Amino acid sequence: MVLVFTVVRSLVEGFLVERRNRFGTASARVAIVCLTTALISGGATALAAPVSQSPDNPSSIAALEVEIAQIQAKVAAVEERALQATEEYARAEDSLNEAKAKAEKTAEDSKKAQDEVDVARADLGRLAAAMYRENRQGFEMLSIVLEEDSLNRMALRSGVERVLGSQADAKIQQLSALENIAAVLDKEAVQAVKTQENAAKEVRAMATEAQLASENTYKELAEAQSQRADVIRRLASSRNVSVEEETQRQNDLEAQRMNRENVAAQAALAARLATEQNAKDAAEKQKVADAAAVAARAAQVAEQAQAAAVQDTKKKREAEEAARIAAEAARKAEEARKAEEARTAEEARRAEEARRAEEARRAEEERRAEEARRAAAAQGQSPTPTPQTPVILASGNSGIGSTLISWAQDKIGLPYIWGGTGPDGYDCSGIIYAGLQTMGKNIGRSAAQQYGGTARVPVDQLEVGDLVFWSNNGSQSGIYHVAMYVGGDQMLEAPKPGLNVKFSPMRYPNLMPYGGRI
């Protein structure tokens, strides 16, 4: 403003001199007022904010929208990285548990082998004592017999045989074999203990790293959320709306984006399963065709054999046998054809039921959304997402699956804890591991182990109690998350850092096409 005033003053003074000389003092005063007003107004306009900073500038708003999207992508990447770190720690625990089990088993086998050696030595000692009682011989060779290294010396063994007899030689050979076995098992036991110790060190090291990783994860998430909140404030200012309204708008946009991704991923998953099923169907049809070809060939052979066996009894019997084989092959081909038709019809029925269920679910969601929009419109507010109530089916795939869900429901509300297996909190695979432990069942600590320890079932045929898995490469090696299917397109999970154990709608991006049945 000082600069504007200085410019205006200079212009006015120059104009005043000229005006006074031409029209007089009164006219100059009027001109001063008019010129000053015009220059100040024009100067202020000239020095206003540039167009790029205008609140209504679309390019500025678009840039902020892009920044929001980038922050959300960063949040998703950080959360997935945290889940992968959890999975790596759980896999290290699996390795430690396996090492412990092997160490215990090899130690037990080693002790058992040594006990057998001791029994064989005692048996040989009893034989020597008996020989001594009979002919006063044997004790002078007893120390040689019981020396481990001497058992491999043929001269000493022959000496023992002369004193104690051939029966002793057989016992010496048995003792030698048992000692060899015991030595091997002892080495295995020592190595197993070392493996266990190394695995324990690895878990301890990962636990230390886990603490740091967990802290960094929460820090990164908090930083990203803070950045998002700042961008939302700037967007609210650019749109001339409240921060609350813009926050709700961005949350709605994010929910819509996630829903689009979910629908696309679900469709891709269904297409993949359909392709695999078509391949299986083609293989089954080929089997049916092969069986029919065999039957046709057998029938042809039977017909030829029958024609040639009109005058020959032997050939007639061969023809009858061929005919029997042909009839059996034809029967099996017909059974295969009927089984294929029944399977195709059953699949069509299931697909139709699934389609109708999906249509009903979507119609219900649209109805609820419409009711929410109408209620919001009546109250003059933006609609908020309607929480989905999980549908728990009456029965699951097995007693174990249903029991696991019942157990896990009592843990709802407990926090996600990095590497947690309870009782105060859990990670995604930790809650499943802990629940199965209460039932005396163990399919592994990590999500990857749990995938390997369950039976495969397509995700479009999931039942209550089945496990569902997410992978960053579509295979078991890339698995980083697991949850429990509870029916109604819902799951129960320990989701991620910062959230509690809860029911969630199914998420299809990165979902493995096959779940796990316990």
The C-alpha atoms of residue 417 and residue 427 are separated, in whole angstroms, by 5
Q: pLDDT at residue 288 above 70?
A: yes
The residue-averaged pLDDT of 327-347 equals: 83
Contact 110, 182 (CB under 8 A): yes
Quickly tell me which residue has 């169907």 as its tokens.
281
pLDDT tier at 498, thresholds 50, 70, 90: confident
Low-confidence winner among 103-117, 266-280, 461-475 (lowest mean pLDDT): 103-117
Residue 12 near residue 39 (C-beta atoms within 8 A) = yes
Rounded Cα distance, 108 and 188, in Å = 11
Instruction: Tell me the C-alpha distance between 374 and 368, whole Å.
Output: 10
Predicted local distance difference test score (pLDDT) of residue 52: 37
Residue 202 or 421, more confident: 421
Token pair recorded at residue 64: 């902020």
Ranges 86-95, 236-245, 328-337: which has the least confidence = 86-95
Q: Is the pLDDT assigned to residue 139 strictly greater than 90?
A: no
Q: Cβ(464)–Cβ(503) under 8 Å?
A: no
- How distant, in Å, are the alpha carbons of 77, 189, 201, 366 from that of 206? 21, 26, 9, 47
Q: By CB neighbour count within 10 A (0-12 exposed, 13-18 middle, 19+ buried), where does 65 fall?
A: middle
Edge-to-edge order in the sheet of strand 455-458: 455-458, 514-517, 467-471, 479-487, 490-493, 502-505
- Of the chain, the percentage scoring pLDDT greater than 70 comes to 71
Please say whether the beta carbons of 459 and 273 come within 8 A.
yes
Residue 7 has pLDDT above 50, yes or no: no
How far apart, in whole angstroms, are the C-alpha atoms of residue 455 and residue 436? 16
For residues 211-226, average pLDDT? 76
Q: Averaged over 83-92, what is the pLDDT?
A: 79
Strands 502-505 and 514-517 come out as unpaired
Q: How many whole angstroms separate alpha carbon 9 and alpha carbon 74?
A: 55
Dihedral sign from CA coordinates of 364, 369, 372, 374: negative
pLDDT surpasses 90 at 42: no
pLDDT at 388 (0 to 100): 42
Residue type, 456: R
**Per-residue pLDDT at 446:** 92
Strand bridging mode 455-458 / 514-517: antiparallel
In sequence order, what are the residues at sequence separation of 6 or more whose Cβ sits closer than 8 angstroms to the Cβ of residue 441?
Answer: 400, 518
Mean pLDDT of the chain: 75
Q: Closest by alpha carbon to 184, among 251, 106, 258?
A: 106
Query: If pLDDT is split at 50, 70 and 90, which confidence band does 36 have?
Result: very low
Structure tokens of 59? 């390019």
Report cis status (omega within 30 of 0) of the bond before 423: yes
Position with higher pLDDT, 20 vs 129: 129
Mean pLDDT of 317-341: 83
- Which pLDDT does position 508 carry in this prediction? 93
pLDDT above 90 for 517: yes
CA 177 to chain centroid: 48
Give me the pLDDT at residue 421, please.
Answer: 92
By C-alpha distance, which of 324, 298, 297, 320 is closest to 309? 320
CA–CA distance, 474 with 456 (Å, rounded to integer) = 14
pLDDT tier for residue 286 given thresholds of 50, 70 and 90 = confident
Q: Minimum mean pLDDT among 116-130, 174-188, 237-251: which range?
A: 116-130
Average pLDDT over residues 5-15: 43
Q: What is the DSSP letter of 505?
A: E
Once rounded to an integer, what is the mean pLDDT over residues 461-468? 94
pLDDT band, very low/low/confident/very high, at 338 (cuts 50, 70, 90) = confident
Cα atoms in the 13 Å half-sphere on the side-chain side of 201? 6
Residues 221-254 have pLDDT tens digits of: 788 888 888 888 888 888 888 989 888 988 888 8
Q: What is the pLDDT of residue 142?
A: 52
The pLDDT confidence band at residue 129, using thresholds 50, 70 and 90, is low
**Averaged pLDDT for residues 125-134:** 63
- Note the pTM of the prediction, 2 decimals: 0.54
The pLDDT confidence band at residue 155, using thresholds 50, 70 and 90, is very low
- What's the token pair of residue 441? 């069942």
pLDDT in tens, 343-380: 888 877 877 776 777 677 677 767 776 776 777 666 65
- DSSP for 300-323 reads HHHHHHHHHTSS-HHHHHHHHHHH
DSSP string, 485-496: EEETTEEEE--S
**pLDDT over 60 (residue 97):** yes
